[in-house]
Structure 1
Amino acid sequence: MSNGPAGHVARSTVRPHSETTRRTPLRTFLHTGDGVSVDSVYDPAAVVYDSSRPPAGDLVFVVAHGFTGDVDRPHVRRVVEAFTRYGAVVTFSFRGHGASGGRSTVGDREVLDLAAAVRWARELGHTRVVTVGFSMGGSVVLRHAALYRPEGEEREGCEGYEGCEGRAGAHTDVVVSVSAPARWYYRGTAPMRKLHWLVTRPEGRLVGRYGFRTRIHHREWNPVPLSPVEAVPRIAPTPLLIVHGDRDGYFPLDHPRMLAEAAGGHGELWLEPGMGHAEHAADDKLLARIGDWAGAQGG
Protein backbone atom coordinates (compact mmCIF):
# COMPACT_ATOMS: atom_id res chain seq x y z
CA MET A 1 0.00 0.00 0.00
CA SER A 2 3.01 2.27 0.01
CA ASN A 3 4.06 1.75 -3.62
CA GLY A 4 2.30 3.98 -6.13
CA PRO A 5 1.27 7.05 -4.10
CA ALA A 6 -2.07 8.79 -4.25
CA GLY A 7 -2.08 12.57 -4.20
CA HIS A 8 1.12 14.57 -4.21
CA VAL A 9 4.50 12.94 -3.79
CA ALA A 10 6.47 14.42 -0.92
CA ARG A 11 10.04 15.42 -1.60
CA SER A 12 12.69 15.69 1.04
CA THR A 13 13.64 19.13 2.25
CA VAL A 14 16.04 17.85 4.90
CA ARG A 15 19.49 19.29 4.39
CA PRO A 16 22.74 18.52 6.18
CA HIS A 17 23.00 20.58 9.34
CA SER A 18 26.32 22.27 9.99
CA GLU A 19 26.07 21.29 13.65
CA THR A 20 24.70 17.79 13.11
CA THR A 21 26.75 14.62 13.40
CA ARG A 22 25.69 11.08 12.55
CA ARG A 23 27.01 7.73 13.69
CA THR A 24 27.15 4.59 11.55
CA PRO A 25 23.87 2.65 11.33
CA LEU A 26 23.75 -0.89 12.74
CA ARG A 27 22.20 -3.63 10.58
CA THR A 28 21.22 -7.11 11.67
CA PHE A 29 18.63 -9.86 11.30
CA LEU A 30 16.17 -10.23 14.16
CA HIS A 31 14.17 -13.38 14.81
CA THR A 32 10.46 -13.21 15.53
CA GLY A 33 8.55 -15.34 18.01
CA ASP A 34 7.50 -17.67 15.17
CA GLY A 35 11.02 -17.98 13.77
CA VAL A 36 11.07 -15.53 10.84
CA SER A 37 14.28 -13.56 10.17
CA VAL A 38 13.65 -9.82 9.83
CA ASP A 39 16.15 -7.47 8.19
CA SER A 40 16.52 -4.53 10.60
CA VAL A 41 18.48 -1.27 10.78
CA TYR A 42 19.23 0.98 13.75
CA ASP A 43 20.06 4.62 13.03
CA PRO A 44 21.34 6.56 16.05
CA ALA A 45 19.90 9.99 16.63
CA ALA A 46 21.52 12.87 14.86
CA VAL A 47 23.23 15.12 17.39
CA VAL A 48 21.60 18.47 16.75
CA TYR A 49 22.55 21.46 18.85
CA ASP A 50 19.22 23.24 18.73
CA SER A 51 18.10 24.95 21.92
CA SER A 52 14.49 25.12 20.68
CA ARG A 53 14.11 21.32 20.92
CA PRO A 54 14.54 18.97 23.87
CA PRO A 55 17.41 16.47 23.67
CA ALA A 56 16.63 13.11 22.03
CA GLY A 57 17.52 11.24 25.21
CA ASP A 58 16.21 7.69 25.27
CA LEU A 59 13.56 8.22 22.57
CA VAL A 60 13.47 5.77 19.66
CA PHE A 61 11.10 5.59 16.70
CA VAL A 62 10.28 2.13 15.36
CA VAL A 63 9.04 2.62 11.79
CA ALA A 64 6.66 0.11 10.18
CA HIS A 65 6.55 0.59 6.41
CA GLY A 66 3.66 0.06 4.01
CA PHE A 67 2.98 -2.95 1.82
CA THR A 68 5.77 -3.51 -0.79
CA GLY A 69 8.19 -1.27 1.15
CA ASP A 70 11.44 -2.32 2.80
CA VAL A 71 14.31 -0.79 4.76
CA ASP A 72 16.22 0.23 1.63
CA ARG A 73 13.41 2.00 -0.23
CA PRO A 74 14.14 5.73 -0.67
CA HIS A 75 10.78 6.79 0.75
CA VAL A 76 11.41 4.72 3.89
CA ARG A 77 14.94 6.09 4.29
CA ARG A 78 13.56 9.63 3.97
CA VAL A 79 11.25 8.96 6.93
CA VAL A 80 14.19 7.60 8.90
CA GLU A 81 16.28 10.68 8.13
CA ALA A 82 13.49 12.97 9.31
CA PHE A 83 12.97 11.15 12.61
CA THR A 84 16.67 10.92 13.50
CA ARG A 85 16.46 14.65 14.23
CA TYR A 86 14.20 13.74 17.19
CA GLY A 87 15.61 10.42 18.36
CA ALA A 88 17.10 7.14 17.25
CA VAL A 89 15.24 5.10 14.64
CA VAL A 90 14.75 1.36 14.15
CA THR A 91 13.30 0.29 10.84
CA PHE A 92 12.85 -3.17 9.41
CA SER A 93 11.49 -5.05 6.42
CA PHE A 94 8.30 -6.90 7.20
CA ARG A 95 8.30 -10.65 6.54
CA GLY A 96 8.22 -11.39 2.82
CA HIS A 97 9.62 -7.95 1.99
CA GLY A 98 13.15 -7.18 0.80
CA ALA A 99 15.79 -9.35 2.48
CA SER A 100 13.54 -10.56 5.31
CA GLY A 101 12.47 -14.18 5.42
CA GLY A 102 9.01 -15.67 5.30
CA ARG A 103 6.04 -14.48 3.31
CA SER A 104 3.79 -11.48 3.81
CA THR A 105 0.46 -12.06 5.53
CA VAL A 106 -0.55 -8.47 4.66
CA GLY A 107 -0.89 -7.21 8.23
CA ASP A 108 -1.70 -10.34 10.24
CA ARG A 109 1.43 -11.97 11.67
CA GLU A 110 3.41 -8.80 11.01
CA VAL A 111 2.66 -7.84 14.62
CA LEU A 112 5.37 -10.37 15.56
CA ASP A 113 7.88 -8.57 13.30
CA LEU A 114 7.11 -5.25 14.99
CA ALA A 115 7.34 -6.83 18.44
CA ALA A 116 10.84 -8.13 17.62
CA ALA A 117 11.91 -4.66 16.46
CA VAL A 118 10.54 -3.00 19.61
CA ARG A 119 12.36 -5.51 21.83
CA TRP A 120 15.59 -4.79 19.95
CA ALA A 121 15.14 -1.05 20.43
CA ARG A 122 14.80 -1.57 24.17
CA GLU A 123 17.77 -3.94 24.26
CA LEU A 124 19.81 -1.12 22.72
CA GLY A 125 19.04 0.95 25.81
CA HIS A 126 16.02 3.02 24.79
CA THR A 127 13.26 3.45 27.36
CA ARG A 128 10.73 5.46 25.31
CA VAL A 129 9.49 3.71 22.17
CA VAL A 130 7.30 5.36 19.53
CA THR A 131 5.83 3.02 16.92
CA VAL A 132 5.03 4.80 13.64
CA GLY A 133 3.26 2.84 10.92
CA PHE A 134 2.24 3.72 7.37
CA SER A 135 -0.70 2.10 5.52
CA MET A 136 -0.35 -1.65 6.23
CA GLY A 137 2.22 -0.70 8.87
CA GLY A 138 -0.34 1.71 10.30
CA SER A 139 -2.76 -1.14 10.90
CA VAL A 140 0.06 -3.22 12.41
CA VAL A 141 1.07 -0.57 14.98
CA LEU A 142 -2.56 -0.30 16.12
CA ARG A 143 -2.94 -4.05 16.56
CA HIS A 144 0.49 -4.41 18.16
CA ALA A 145 -0.36 -1.76 20.76
CA ALA A 146 -3.64 -3.52 21.51
CA LEU A 147 -2.03 -6.96 21.90
CA TYR A 148 1.04 -6.21 24.05
CA ARG A 149 0.80 -4.88 27.60
CA PRO A 150 3.49 -2.61 29.04
CA GLU A 151 4.26 -5.24 31.68
CA GLY A 152 5.05 -7.69 28.90
CA GLU A 153 1.91 -9.81 29.12
CA GLU A 154 -0.22 -10.33 26.05
CA ARG A 155 -3.67 -8.79 25.93
CA GLU A 156 -6.84 -10.61 24.93
CA GLY A 157 -6.54 -11.71 21.32
CA CYS A 158 -2.80 -12.42 21.35
CA GLU A 159 -3.27 -16.08 22.18
CA GLY A 160 -4.03 -16.86 18.53
CA TYR A 161 -0.44 -16.21 17.46
CA GLU A 162 2.32 -18.76 17.75
CA GLY A 163 5.25 -16.87 19.26
CA CYS A 164 3.08 -14.02 20.59
CA GLU A 165 4.04 -14.72 24.17
CA GLY A 166 4.36 -11.07 25.15
CA ARG A 167 7.89 -11.15 26.52
CA ALA A 168 8.96 -8.06 28.45
CA GLY A 169 10.02 -5.18 26.25
CA ALA A 170 7.63 -5.81 23.37
CA HIS A 171 5.23 -2.97 24.21
CA THR A 172 5.19 0.55 22.83
CA ASP A 173 4.90 3.83 24.73
CA VAL A 174 3.43 5.99 21.94
CA VAL A 175 1.52 5.01 18.77
CA VAL A 176 1.31 6.93 15.47
CA SER A 177 -0.76 5.42 12.65
CA VAL A 178 -0.58 7.09 9.22
CA SER A 179 -2.91 6.28 6.28
CA ALA A 180 -4.21 3.10 7.90
CA PRO A 181 -7.37 1.19 7.01
CA ALA A 182 -10.05 0.89 9.66
CA ARG A 183 -11.44 -2.43 8.46
CA TRP A 184 -10.36 -5.47 6.48
CA TYR A 185 -11.30 -6.53 2.94
CA TYR A 186 -11.95 -2.98 1.77
CA ARG A 187 -12.30 -2.80 -2.04
CA GLY A 188 -13.98 0.57 -2.45
CA THR A 189 -11.18 2.25 -4.43
CA ALA A 190 -9.36 1.23 -7.61
CA PRO A 191 -5.94 0.95 -5.88
CA MET A 192 -7.40 -1.41 -3.27
CA ARG A 193 -9.04 -3.57 -5.94
CA LYS A 194 -5.64 -3.85 -7.62
CA LEU A 195 -4.03 -4.72 -4.29
CA HIS A 196 -6.57 -7.48 -3.66
CA TRP A 197 -5.77 -8.92 -7.09
CA LEU A 198 -2.06 -8.82 -6.19
CA VAL A 199 -2.66 -10.67 -2.94
CA THR A 200 -5.34 -13.20 -3.88
CA ARG A 201 -4.44 -14.31 -7.41
CA PRO A 202 -1.45 -16.55 -8.29
CA GLU A 203 -0.46 -14.24 -11.15
CA GLY A 204 -0.77 -11.26 -8.80
CA ARG A 205 1.57 -12.88 -6.30
CA LEU A 206 4.09 -13.42 -9.09
CA VAL A 207 3.93 -9.69 -9.88
CA GLY A 208 4.44 -8.99 -6.19
CA ARG A 209 7.46 -11.29 -5.99
CA TYR A 210 9.30 -10.14 -9.09
CA GLY A 211 7.96 -6.63 -9.53
CA PHE A 212 7.92 -5.41 -5.92
CA ARG A 213 10.32 -7.77 -4.08
CA THR A 214 7.35 -8.86 -1.95
CA ARG A 215 6.62 -12.53 -1.38
CA ILE A 216 2.96 -12.96 -0.43
CA HIS A 217 1.51 -15.94 1.41
CA HIS A 218 -1.10 -17.86 -0.56
CA ARG A 219 -3.20 -18.85 2.45
CA GLU A 220 -6.20 -16.86 3.56
CA TRP A 221 -6.42 -15.57 7.12
CA ASN A 222 -7.62 -18.22 9.57
CA PRO A 223 -8.68 -16.91 11.99
CA VAL A 224 -9.30 -13.37 10.75
CA PRO A 225 -7.13 -11.07 12.91
CA LEU A 226 -8.42 -8.30 15.12
CA SER A 227 -9.26 -5.38 12.84
CA PRO A 228 -7.72 -1.92 13.35
CA VAL A 229 -11.04 -0.41 14.45
CA GLU A 230 -11.47 -3.23 16.99
CA ALA A 231 -7.91 -2.73 18.21
CA VAL A 232 -8.11 1.01 18.87
CA PRO A 233 -10.27 0.91 22.04
CA ARG A 234 -7.74 -1.46 23.64
CA ILE A 235 -4.79 0.92 23.20
CA ALA A 236 -5.66 3.40 25.96
CA PRO A 237 -3.99 4.84 27.96
CA THR A 238 -1.04 4.68 25.54
CA PRO A 239 -0.88 8.00 23.61
CA LEU A 240 -2.34 7.60 20.11
CA LEU A 241 -2.16 9.77 16.98
CA ILE A 242 -4.10 8.97 13.79
CA VAL A 243 -2.95 10.81 10.64
CA HIS A 244 -4.72 10.69 7.28
CA GLY A 245 -4.70 12.70 4.07
CA ASP A 246 -7.88 14.08 2.55
CA ARG A 247 -6.60 12.99 -0.91
CA ASP A 248 -5.78 9.43 0.08
CA GLY A 249 -6.55 7.30 -2.98
CA TYR A 250 -6.58 4.01 -1.06
CA PHE A 251 -8.69 4.68 2.04
CA PRO A 252 -11.23 7.53 2.10
CA LEU A 253 -11.92 9.65 5.15
CA ASP A 254 -14.47 7.30 6.69
CA HIS A 255 -11.51 5.09 7.70
CA PRO A 256 -9.69 7.58 9.97
CA ARG A 257 -13.01 8.85 11.28
CA MET A 258 -14.02 5.31 12.25
CA LEU A 259 -10.70 4.88 14.05
CA ALA A 260 -11.09 8.21 15.87
CA GLU A 261 -14.65 7.34 16.88
CA ALA A 262 -13.46 3.99 18.21
CA ALA A 263 -10.82 5.80 20.26
CA GLY A 264 -13.51 7.93 21.90
CA GLY A 265 -11.92 10.61 24.05
CA HIS A 266 -8.51 8.96 23.74
CA GLY A 267 -6.01 9.93 21.07
CA GLU A 268 -5.82 12.61 18.38
CA LEU A 269 -6.88 12.75 14.73
CA TRP A 270 -5.04 14.86 12.14
CA LEU A 271 -6.75 15.15 8.76
CA GLU A 272 -4.12 16.60 6.43
CA PRO A 273 -5.29 18.84 3.55
CA GLY A 274 -3.85 17.86 0.16
CA MET A 275 -2.08 14.77 1.47
CA GLY A 276 -2.22 11.49 -0.44
CA HIS A 277 -1.22 8.07 0.85
CA ALA A 278 1.44 6.88 3.31
CA GLU A 279 5.20 7.57 3.22
CA HIS A 280 5.23 8.97 -0.30
CA ALA A 281 2.79 11.70 0.67
CA ALA A 282 4.10 12.51 4.17
CA ASP A 283 6.28 15.56 3.62
CA ASP A 284 9.05 16.67 5.94
CA LYS A 285 6.87 19.27 7.65
CA LEU A 286 4.37 16.60 8.62
CA LEU A 287 7.12 14.23 9.77
CA ALA A 288 8.56 17.06 11.87
CA ARG A 289 5.16 17.68 13.47
CA ILE A 290 4.86 13.97 14.24
CA GLY A 291 8.36 14.00 15.74
CA ASP A 292 7.49 17.01 17.92
CA TRP A 293 4.19 15.44 19.03
CA ALA A 294 5.77 12.10 19.85
CA GLY A 295 8.62 13.69 21.77
CA ALA A 296 6.15 15.60 23.92
CA GLN A 297 4.30 12.46 25.05
CA GLY A 298 5.44 11.42 28.47
CA GLY A 299 8.78 13.16 28.12
Structure 2
Amino acid sequence: MSETENQGAISIAPYRYALAVEYNGSAYRGWQKQSDDDVPSLQSEVERALSRVANHPVQVVCAGRTDAGVHATWQIIHFDSCVERDLRAWVLGTNTYLPDDISIQWARSVTHEFHARFSARARRYRYLIYSSPVKPALLSRGVTWTHKSFDLESMQRAAESLVGEHDFTSYRAVGCQAKSPVRTIQSLEVTQRGRLIMIDVRANAFLHHMVRNIAGVLMKIGSGEASIGWAREVLEARDRRMGGVTAPPFGLYFVDVDYPDLFDLPVSPLGPYFLSGAD
Protein backbone atom coordinates (compact mmCIF):
# COMPACT_ATOMS: atom_id res chain seq x y z
CA MET A 1 0.00 0.00 0.00
CA SER A 2 1.41 3.40 -0.96
CA GLU A 3 1.64 6.25 1.54
CA THR A 4 -1.17 8.08 -0.28
CA GLU A 5 -3.41 5.00 -0.19
CA ASN A 6 -2.46 4.47 3.43
CA GLN A 7 -3.62 7.98 4.27
CA GLY A 8 -6.91 7.41 2.51
CA ALA A 9 -7.45 4.18 4.41
CA ILE A 10 -7.19 5.75 7.86
CA SER A 11 -8.36 9.34 7.31
CA ILE A 12 -11.94 8.54 8.42
CA ALA A 13 -10.75 8.46 12.03
CA PRO A 14 -11.88 11.65 13.81
CA TYR A 15 -8.69 12.44 15.73
CA ARG A 16 -5.24 13.23 14.38
CA TYR A 17 -2.13 13.49 16.52
CA ALA A 18 1.40 14.69 15.86
CA LEU A 19 4.28 13.25 17.88
CA ALA A 20 8.04 13.72 18.10
CA VAL A 21 10.09 10.54 18.26
CA GLU A 22 13.68 10.20 19.43
CA TYR A 23 15.57 7.04 18.63
CA ASN A 24 18.90 5.30 18.41
CA GLY A 25 18.78 3.61 15.03
CA SER A 26 21.70 1.23 15.59
CA ALA A 27 19.56 -1.89 16.03
CA TYR A 28 17.14 -1.23 13.17
CA ARG A 29 17.06 -1.56 9.40
CA GLY A 30 15.81 1.98 9.15
CA TRP A 31 12.56 3.80 9.87
CA GLN A 32 10.35 2.17 7.25
CA LYS A 33 8.38 -0.95 8.06
CA GLN A 34 9.60 -4.00 6.14
CA SER A 35 7.54 -6.64 4.37
CA ASP A 36 9.30 -9.25 6.52
CA ASP A 37 8.02 -8.85 10.08
CA ASP A 38 11.23 -10.35 11.42
CA VAL A 39 13.28 -7.41 10.10
CA PRO A 40 13.44 -4.78 12.88
CA SER A 41 12.17 -1.32 11.91
CA LEU A 42 11.43 1.77 13.94
CA GLN A 43 8.04 2.28 12.32
CA SER A 44 6.90 -1.20 13.37
CA GLU A 45 7.93 -0.63 16.98
CA VAL A 46 6.19 2.75 17.17
CA GLU A 47 3.01 1.51 15.53
CA ARG A 48 2.88 -1.53 17.79
CA ALA A 49 3.18 0.63 20.93
CA LEU A 50 0.66 3.25 19.77
CA SER A 51 -1.81 0.54 18.82
CA ARG A 52 -1.75 -0.77 22.37
CA VAL A 53 -2.54 2.66 23.79
CA ALA A 54 -5.22 3.33 21.17
CA ASN A 55 -6.63 -0.19 21.48
CA HIS A 56 -6.90 -0.34 17.67
CA PRO A 57 -4.38 -0.72 14.83
CA VAL A 58 -2.43 2.48 14.21
CA GLN A 59 -0.50 3.44 11.08
CA VAL A 60 1.93 6.37 11.21
CA VAL A 61 3.40 8.73 8.63
CA CYS A 62 6.83 10.27 9.23
CA ALA A 63 8.46 13.52 8.16
CA GLY A 64 11.48 11.77 6.65
CA ARG A 65 12.52 8.14 6.45
CA THR A 66 15.92 7.42 7.95
CA ASP A 67 18.27 4.65 6.86
CA ALA A 68 19.60 1.71 8.83
CA GLY A 69 21.80 2.85 11.70
CA VAL A 70 20.70 6.51 11.51
CA HIS A 71 19.38 8.25 14.63
CA ALA A 72 16.80 10.95 15.30
CA THR A 73 16.13 13.46 18.03
CA TRP A 74 13.12 15.10 16.33
CA GLN A 75 11.43 12.71 13.94
CA ILE A 76 7.86 13.99 13.50
CA ILE A 77 5.03 11.58 12.85
CA HIS A 78 1.28 11.78 12.65
CA PHE A 79 -1.46 9.20 12.95
CA ASP A 80 -5.24 9.08 13.01
CA SER A 81 -7.17 7.47 15.83
CA CYS A 82 -10.74 6.49 16.57
CA VAL A 83 -10.26 7.38 20.21
CA GLU A 84 -9.36 10.54 22.09
CA ARG A 85 -6.65 10.19 24.70
CA ASP A 86 -5.00 12.64 27.05
CA LEU A 87 -1.73 13.82 25.43
CA ARG A 88 0.24 12.52 28.40
CA ALA A 89 -1.21 9.08 27.71
CA TRP A 90 0.09 9.14 24.15
CA VAL A 91 3.54 10.03 25.47
CA LEU A 92 3.94 8.14 28.73
CA GLY A 93 1.67 5.26 27.85
CA THR A 94 3.32 4.64 24.50
CA ASN A 95 6.80 4.85 26.03
CA THR A 96 5.96 2.01 28.41
CA TYR A 97 5.55 -0.27 25.39
CA LEU A 98 8.62 0.93 23.49
CA PRO A 99 12.17 -0.46 23.77
CA ASP A 100 14.71 1.69 25.57
CA ASP A 101 16.22 3.01 22.32
CA ILE A 102 12.95 4.67 21.18
CA SER A 103 11.11 7.45 23.03
CA ILE A 104 8.09 9.65 22.32
CA GLN A 105 9.05 13.20 23.31
CA TRP A 106 5.70 14.98 23.01
CA ALA A 107 2.24 14.68 21.48
CA ARG A 108 -0.11 17.32 20.10
CA SER A 109 -3.65 17.20 18.78
CA VAL A 110 -3.70 18.57 15.21
CA THR A 111 -6.24 19.10 12.46
CA HIS A 112 -6.47 16.78 9.48
CA GLU A 113 -4.77 19.49 7.43
CA PHE A 114 -1.51 18.58 9.12
CA HIS A 115 0.63 15.97 7.40
CA ALA A 116 4.00 15.01 8.86
CA ARG A 117 5.61 14.71 5.43
CA PHE A 118 3.72 17.00 3.08
CA SER A 119 3.29 19.93 5.50
CA ALA A 120 7.04 20.10 6.16
CA ARG A 121 8.87 23.08 4.66
CA ALA A 122 12.38 21.98 5.60
CA ARG A 123 14.30 19.24 7.36
CA ARG A 124 17.61 19.32 9.19
CA TYR A 125 20.32 16.77 9.85
CA ARG A 126 23.53 16.82 11.86
CA TYR A 127 26.47 14.56 11.07
CA LEU A 128 28.94 14.05 13.92
CA ILE A 129 32.56 13.06 13.34
CA TYR A 130 34.91 12.17 16.18
CA SER A 131 38.47 12.96 15.14
CA SER A 132 40.98 11.19 17.39
CA PRO A 133 43.96 8.85 17.07
CA VAL A 134 42.09 6.33 19.25
CA LYS A 135 38.56 5.06 18.71
CA PRO A 136 35.94 6.01 21.33
CA ALA A 137 34.26 3.38 23.49
CA LEU A 138 31.33 5.60 24.48
CA LEU A 139 29.00 6.55 21.62
CA SER A 140 30.74 4.07 19.34
CA ARG A 141 27.51 3.94 17.32
CA GLY A 142 26.62 7.56 17.96
CA VAL A 143 29.49 9.21 16.09
CA THR A 144 31.63 8.41 13.08
CA TRP A 145 35.19 7.90 14.23
CA THR A 146 38.27 8.72 12.17
CA HIS A 147 41.93 8.95 13.08
CA LYS A 148 42.38 11.72 10.49
CA SER A 149 42.64 15.45 11.24
CA PHE A 150 40.59 17.96 9.26
CA ASP A 151 40.96 21.49 7.96
CA LEU A 152 37.57 22.96 8.81
CA GLU A 153 38.08 26.09 6.73
CA SER A 154 38.53 23.96 3.61
CA MET A 155 35.45 21.92 4.48
CA GLN A 156 33.34 25.04 4.99
CA ARG A 157 34.48 26.65 1.76
CA ALA A 158 33.69 23.45 -0.11
CA ALA A 159 30.29 23.21 1.60
CA GLU A 160 29.31 26.67 0.40
CA SER A 161 29.31 25.47 -3.21
CA LEU A 162 26.47 23.08 -2.37
CA VAL A 163 24.13 25.69 -0.86
CA GLY A 164 21.17 26.62 -3.04
CA GLU A 165 19.03 24.74 -5.54
CA HIS A 166 20.99 22.10 -7.46
CA ASP A 167 20.75 18.77 -9.19
CA PHE A 168 22.21 16.44 -6.53
CA THR A 169 22.45 13.32 -8.70
CA SER A 170 26.10 12.88 -7.69
CA TYR A 171 25.15 13.05 -4.02
CA ARG A 172 22.33 10.52 -3.96
CA ALA A 173 22.35 6.74 -3.78
CA VAL A 174 22.28 4.85 -7.06
CA GLY A 175 19.04 3.21 -5.99
CA CYS A 176 17.36 6.45 -4.89
CA GLN A 177 13.70 6.39 -5.97
CA ALA A 178 13.00 10.13 -5.81
CA LYS A 179 11.44 11.40 -9.03
CA SER A 180 13.69 14.46 -9.16
CA PRO A 181 17.31 14.90 -8.00
CA VAL A 182 16.80 18.64 -7.50
CA ARG A 183 16.89 19.83 -3.91
CA THR A 184 17.53 23.16 -2.19
CA ILE A 185 20.09 23.27 0.61
CA GLN A 186 19.28 26.31 2.74
CA SER A 187 22.31 26.12 5.02
CA LEU A 188 25.37 23.91 5.38
CA GLU A 189 27.85 24.61 8.17
CA VAL A 190 30.88 22.80 9.51
CA THR A 191 31.88 23.47 13.13
CA GLN A 192 34.14 21.88 15.74
CA ARG A 193 33.83 21.35 19.48
CA GLY A 194 36.92 19.72 20.86
CA ARG A 195 37.43 16.50 18.91
CA LEU A 196 33.85 16.52 17.66
CA ILE A 197 33.21 17.93 14.17
CA MET A 198 29.63 18.65 13.16
CA ILE A 199 28.22 19.01 9.67
CA ASP A 200 24.84 20.75 10.02
CA VAL A 201 22.65 20.80 6.91
CA ARG A 202 19.14 22.15 6.35
CA ALA A 203 17.21 21.61 3.12
CA ASN A 204 13.68 21.54 1.77
CA ALA A 205 14.07 17.76 1.40
CA PHE A 206 16.81 15.15 1.08
CA LEU A 207 17.64 12.35 -1.31
CA HIS A 208 18.63 8.83 -0.28
CA HIS A 209 22.13 8.92 1.27
CA MET A 210 22.44 12.63 0.38
CA VAL A 211 23.79 13.80 3.75
CA ARG A 212 26.15 10.84 4.10
CA ASN A 213 27.51 11.41 0.59
CA ILE A 214 28.03 15.10 1.31
CA ALA A 215 29.80 14.17 4.55
CA GLY A 216 32.03 11.72 2.67
CA VAL A 217 33.10 14.38 0.17
CA LEU A 218 33.71 17.03 2.84
CA MET A 219 35.74 14.62 4.96
CA LYS A 220 37.97 13.80 2.01
CA ILE A 221 38.48 17.51 1.34
CA GLY A 222 39.10 18.26 5.02
CA SER A 223 41.76 15.57 5.26
CA GLY A 224 43.62 17.06 2.29
CA GLU A 225 42.91 14.13 -0.03
CA ALA A 226 40.92 16.33 -2.42
CA SER A 227 40.80 20.02 -3.32
CA ILE A 228 38.15 22.47 -2.17
CA GLY A 229 36.81 22.64 -5.70
CA TRP A 230 36.13 18.90 -5.78
CA ALA A 231 32.76 19.32 -4.02
CA ARG A 232 31.51 21.47 -6.92
CA GLU A 233 33.11 19.21 -9.51
CA VAL A 234 31.22 16.25 -8.06
CA LEU A 235 27.99 18.28 -8.06
CA GLU A 236 28.36 19.39 -11.68
CA ALA A 237 29.25 15.89 -12.89
CA ARG A 238 25.74 14.63 -12.07
CA ASP A 239 27.21 11.16 -11.76
CA ARG A 240 27.22 9.22 -8.48
CA ARG A 241 30.42 7.45 -9.52
CA MET A 242 32.25 10.77 -9.09
CA GLY A 243 31.11 11.20 -5.49
CA GLY A 244 33.51 9.07 -3.50
CA VAL A 245 32.70 7.04 -0.39
CA THR A 246 29.37 7.20 1.43
CA ALA A 247 30.10 8.11 5.05
CA PRO A 248 28.91 5.62 7.74
CA PRO A 249 25.41 6.05 9.21
CA PHE A 250 26.43 6.11 12.88
CA GLY A 251 27.06 9.85 13.15
CA LEU A 252 23.87 10.96 11.40
CA TYR A 253 20.97 12.51 13.33
CA PHE A 254 17.62 13.81 12.09
CA VAL A 255 17.22 16.86 14.34
CA ASP A 256 14.48 19.18 13.07
CA VAL A 257 11.47 19.65 10.82
CA ASP A 258 10.05 23.07 9.96
CA TYR A 259 6.28 23.47 9.71
CA PRO A 260 4.06 26.52 9.22
CA ASP A 261 3.30 28.40 12.43
CA LEU A 262 -0.40 27.68 12.13
CA PHE A 263 0.19 24.12 13.40
CA ASP A 264 1.76 25.48 16.61
CA LEU A 265 4.17 22.59 17.17
CA PRO A 266 7.06 22.70 19.68
CA VAL A 267 10.43 24.02 18.55
CA SER A 268 13.30 21.56 18.28
CA PRO A 269 16.16 21.97 20.79
CA LEU A 270 18.49 20.78 18.00
CA GLY A 271 19.98 17.63 19.49
CA PRO A 272 21.48 15.25 20.08
CA TYR A 273 21.08 15.86 23.78
CA PHE A 274 24.81 15.70 24.58
CA LEU A 275 25.21 18.89 22.50
CA SER A 276 22.55 20.74 24.51
CA GLY A 277 23.58 24.23 25.52
CA ALA A 278 26.35 24.35 22.94
CA ASP A 279 24.37 26.38 20.38
- Normalised TM-score (structure 1): 0.25
- Structure having the higher Rg: 2
- Normalised TM-score (structure 2): 0.26
Greater strand proportion: 2
